[in-house]
Structure 1
Amino acid sequence: MTTTRSQYDYDYYIPTLTKVQLQEDLHPGYCREAACVITVISNVIIFLLGITGNGAVIWITGFKMKKSVNSTWYLSLALSDFFFCATLPFTIDYLIKDSWSFGLFLCKFNSFAMTLNMYSSIFILVIISVDRCISVRFPVWAQNKRTVKKASLVVVLAWFVSSLLSIPSAKFREILNESPEICYNNYEDHHKTVVFMRFNFGFLIPFLTIFICYTILIHKLRSNQMSKSTKPYKITTLLIATFFICWLPFQIVSVLELDRSEYNSAFKTAQQVSGTLASANSFLNPFLYAFMAKDLKKKCYSFLSKIESAIDEENRSTFRATSVTSATDNGLSTAV
């Protein structure tokens, strides 16, 4: 079995090995391989852009914009991504030095933070999709019951469930107290269970829920002839598509890893690419907000203005869609 140390550094693509295998296969040495260098550079870029972009979204949605249900969703999504990006320096240091220098608590916490980001992000996207579906399918109820306070409670619940599902990532994280120290996953006989939970609750079930919601949305909008006159779902659609593009390779590699006892260079590269792509999702969202703003081509506003414009446009579009749907439904009821 030929392996190198960089294969075990990053939580998103760490195979399950025994302590004996780790001692036999891992050797001290700084990050010199091309794949390791590229991974480090990628994580540095993700960290810088993620902290800056998500920090801007947190400032805009949390302090500058008027509180709304939509801004609550996007604030929570930005907090999740910001929290993850804030832990990246530990991973970057581990990659460069080829040694874990931060103790057992941070070894577990770093893994917990990464998994928490995955669950909380997808759960918020599911909530946004369900919220859009309810707003169009039951507009009168949505106008009367859709409040910022209730949205905040839903977000807290999503974070609580995400935290519970992220506990295994911390529980099975250990340190091999050799020289150098190694922070690694020791799933023992629970590897399949962890991957099963991660795949189903972090990907499959959310995907099916979002797919059903969007099927209902498209059918309702087309039946009311609203699809050409409103654009309330562009940002949400792009966010969801980006999430699945970034996370699908990681989920596939995680499942394929279950039946492997050896890790060749091709599979190692697949682990590194899928892990980096998954973490890249955390800095993309703020740039998607800016890209979706109407004034992008004019290039006359700052990046922060574009983010605010995109989210504010989403608020207005959702309100218009709900109002039009409500009016249409009321008109049909009167006619009947």
Structure 2
Amino acid sequence: MPSDQSAGDSMASGLLNTTNVSDPSEMVKCNQSANITENCTMEKVFVQGISHGPIAILVPILFGIIFIVGVIGNGTVIFTVARNKVMRNVPNILIVSLSLGDLLLILVSVPFSATIYTLKSWPYGETICKFNFYMQTMSLGVSVFTLIALSADRYMAIVDPMSKITGKTIGKAMTVVGVIWASSFLLAIPDWIFSSTSDFRMEDGNYGYMCTPYPLALYPAYPKTQGLIRFVVFFAIPVVTIGFFYLMMAYILIQSGQSMPCEGSKSAMNQQRQIAARKKVAKVVLSFVFIFLICWLPRHIYILWFFYDEYGEYNDFWYGFQIFGFCLTFVNSCVNPLALYFLSSQFRKFYNKYLFCCIPTVRVYNPLEPTSTMHNFNSTVRRASSTTNTMVHSMSQSMC
């Protein structure tokens, strides 16, 4: 892209100050030794001048909040399902898998990523650099594939509710979780292989290091290919798949509503309760999907624009959009437990029990009280005279 000589000279000094490259979009478009020419798209180079601005303070504060909320929220979800046998059903096992992936990302990657926009040089070494990128991709894979599995589980709960009683659902769920984690580990291997640290000369004359997701020698062919593959595998295909499941669920629910027995009959009331319970759980899963879309769509938009729009200008808008999208990808790892708290009454009771046990005014939420939903759930399951419809209704309540 054409640029005048004075602008090129000023950006050349900024190029040497490029340090903590947190993602493909922050990779320089020229080698550090290259001259500023018309073929070097310097308008898109990430210049590490933000270490002197408010971003250097705001980003670590935000990541500190993400760390605290994410550890407490995801840890509580895992502890709740592990501690209470009544919570161990298929959707909750998948949610634990989702929370565990988010928790690992928060514990491993957030502390290092929090300093990317503050420090002028990557101080943690090449092993941490590789592990950081590896954990980000691994956690992304766990999140995406678990959301697909949750959507498929909700679809099967509506299409064939009896399978929840007759099938070995817990064992199947554990097998699905194992496949999800194995696939995520494998898909993250290229990030471990290609990510590395590169040295550069800083403005003060000293040398520093920048952590990049691939060697400069592979630029720009590899990042363009990687960005497109990540968009297709970790976003486009999952969104289409999940959308298909929910469209089919909506169609089946509409059909079942039309074929429902006469209002007022016992059969109609049971069927209405079953449909309401399934819808409730499906809404929780759908909230996870919307959170994922909101948190990851800006990131993919930015990366695809950066690598495929050769004539686009890297201006203040894209600079802010880049940081916004980068932070949102980590926000995604801490907000799912919040969605569970507001949408699932069963999880909310256990949240209040474990997190607010020292606050007397909140201890009224006791899931063990005889009048609670949890007690009714257990009583319904234990009752020897329960009918098949009652069993289906109890099993379909899942989380809610």
Please say if residues 20 and 121 of structure 2, whose CA atoms lie closer than 8 Å, have aligned partners that are also in contact. Answer: no
Aligned with 1:269: secondary structure? helix
Which residue is 1:250 aligned to?
299
How does the TM-score come out when normalised to structure 2?
0.70
Q: Distance in 1 between matches of 2:227 and 2:366?
A: 37
Aligned with 2:162: secondary structure? helix
Q: Distance in 2 between matches of 1:81 and 1:44?
A: 15
Which residue is 2:235 aligned to?
203
Q: Which residue type is aligned with residue 44 of structure 1?
A: G
Q: Distance in 2 between matches of 1:112 and 1:248?
A: 20
Name the CA shift for 1:180/1:28 in 2 (closer, same or farther; >3 Å). Answer: farther
Which residue is 1:334 aligned to?
none
Please say if residues 7 and 13 of structure 1, whose CA atoms lie closer than 8 Å, have aligned partners that are also in contact. Answer: no
Which residue is 1:11 aligned to?
23
Name the CA shift for 1:23/1:57 in 2 (closer, same or farther; >3 Å). Answer: farther
Q: Which residue type is aligned with residue 45 of structure 1?
A: I
Corresponding position: 1:78 with 2:129: no
1:45-124 equivalences under 5 Å are: 45-66=65-86, 67-86=88-107, 87-124=109-146
Q: Distance in 2 between matches of 1:205 and 1:255?
A: 16
Give CA deviations for 1:193-221 in whole Å, capped at 9, x if unaligned: 21121111101110011011001111112
Give CA deviations for 1:204-251 in whole Å, capped at 9, x if unaligned: 110011011001111112222249733221211111111111111111
Corresponding position: 1:32 with 2:52: yes
Please say if residues 61 and 74 of structure 1, whose CA atoms lie closer than 8 Å, have aligned partners that are also in contact. Answer: no
Which residue is 1:330 aligned to?
none
Q: Structure 1: which 5+ runs fail to align? A: 327-336
Which residue is 2:211 aligned to?
183
Q: Which residue type is aligned with residue 97 of structure 1?
A: L
Q: Distance in 1 between matches of 2:335 and 2:188?
A: 23
Which residue is 2:194 aligned to?
172
Q: Distance in 2 between matches of 1:133 and 1:125?
A: 12
Q: Which residue type is aligned with residue 223 of structure 1?
A: Q
Runs of 4+ in 1 over 4 A off after TM superposition: 1-8, 21-30, 295-298, 302-309, 319-322
Root mean square deviation, CA, Å: 3.6
Please say if residues 16 and 185 of structure 1, whose CA atoms lie closer than 8 Å, have aligned partners that are also in contact. Answer: no
Corresponding position: 1:291 with 2:335: no
Q: Which residue type is aligned with residue 292 of structure 2?
A: F
Q: Distance in 1 between matches of 2:320 and 2:50?
A: 18
Please say if residues 174 and 184 of structure 1, whose CA atoms lie closer than 8 Å, have aligned partners that are also in contact. Answer: yes
Q: Which residue type is aligned with residue 218 of structure 1?
A: A
Which residue is 1:329 aligned to?
none
Shifted more, 256-265 versus 209-218: the winner is 256-265
Name the CA shift for 1:130/1:322 in 2 (closer, same or farther; >3 Å). Answer: farther
Aligned with 1:229: secondary structure? helix
Q: Which residue type is aligned with residue 125 of structure 1?
A: L
Name the CA shift for 1:27/1:293 in 2 (closer, same or farther; >3 Å). Answer: closer
Name the CA shift for 1:239/1:28 in 2 (closer, same or farther; >3 Å). Answer: closer
Corresponding position: 1:213 with 2:245: yes
Question: How far 1:84 sits from its partner (Å)?
Answer: 0.9
Paired residues in the alignment total: 320
Please say if residues 112 and 166 of structure 1, whose CA atoms lie closer than 8 Å, have aligned partners that are also in contact. Answer: yes
Question: How far 1:76 sits from its partner (Å)?
Answer: 0.3
Bigger radius of gyration: 2
Name the CA shift for 1:43/1:12 in 2 (closer, same or farther; >3 Å). Answer: farther
Aligned with 1:190: secondary structure? helix
Q: Which residue type is aligned with residue 199 of structure 1?
A: F
Name the CA shift for 1:62/1:17 in 2 (closer, same or farther; >3 Å). Answer: farther
Q: Distance in 1 between matches of 2:342 and 2:75?
A: 17
Q: Distance in 2 between matches of 1:12 and 1:42?
A: 22
Q: Distance in 1 between matches of 2:24 and 2:282?
A: 30
Question: How far 1:322 sits from its partner (Å)?
Answer: 8.8
Please say if residues 61 and 71 of structure 1, whose CA atoms lie closer than 8 Å, have aligned partners that are also in contact. Answer: yes
Give CA deviations for 1:288-330 in whole Å, capped at 9, x if unaligned: 11111349999x9457489998xx89x99xx989926x9xxxx
Name the CA shift for 1:6/1:267 in 2 (closer, same or farther; >3 Å). Answer: farther
Q: Distance in 1 between matches of 2:341 and 2:162?
A: 31
Please say if residues 63 and 114 of structure 2, whose CA atoms lie closer than 8 Å, have aligned partners that are also in contact. Answer: yes
Q: Which residue type is aligned with residue 168 of structure 1?
A: P
Aligned with 1:75: secondary structure? helix
Which residue is 1:323 aligned to?
392
Name the CA shift for 1:52/1:273 in 2 (closer, same or farther; >3 Å). Answer: same
Q: Distance in 2 between matches of 1:293 and 1:20?
A: 53
Name the CA shift for 1:33/1:228 in 2 (closer, same or farther; >3 Å). Answer: same
Question: How far 1:140 sits from its partner (Å)?
Answer: 3.0
Aligned with 2:211: secondary structure? strand
Aligned with 1:175: secondary structure? strand
Which residue is 2:32 aligned to?
20
